[in-house]
Amino acid sequence: MLSDGKQGVRAKYFDTIFQKVKQNEILKFNSVIGLENDTQYFQSLLIRKDNPDLEELVEAFYTIAKILG
Q: Give the containing element (helix H, strand E) for 47.
A: strand 40-48
pLDDT at 68: 83
Distance in angstroms between the alpha carbons of the first and the last residue of the chain: 14
Q: Which of 7, 5, 2 is nearest to 43 (CA)?
A: 7
pLDDT at 22 over 90: no
Instruction: Tell me the backbone φ, ψ of residue 21, rounded to 5 degrees.
Output: -115, 0
Residue ranges covered by each domain of the chain: 7-68
Q: What is the DSSP letter of 62?
A: H
pLDDT at 28: 86
Q: Which whole number is the average pLDDT over 31-54?
A: 86
pTM of the model: 0.68
pLDDT at 47 over 70: yes
Are residues 42 and 7 in contact, defined by beta-carbon separation less than 8 angstroms? yes
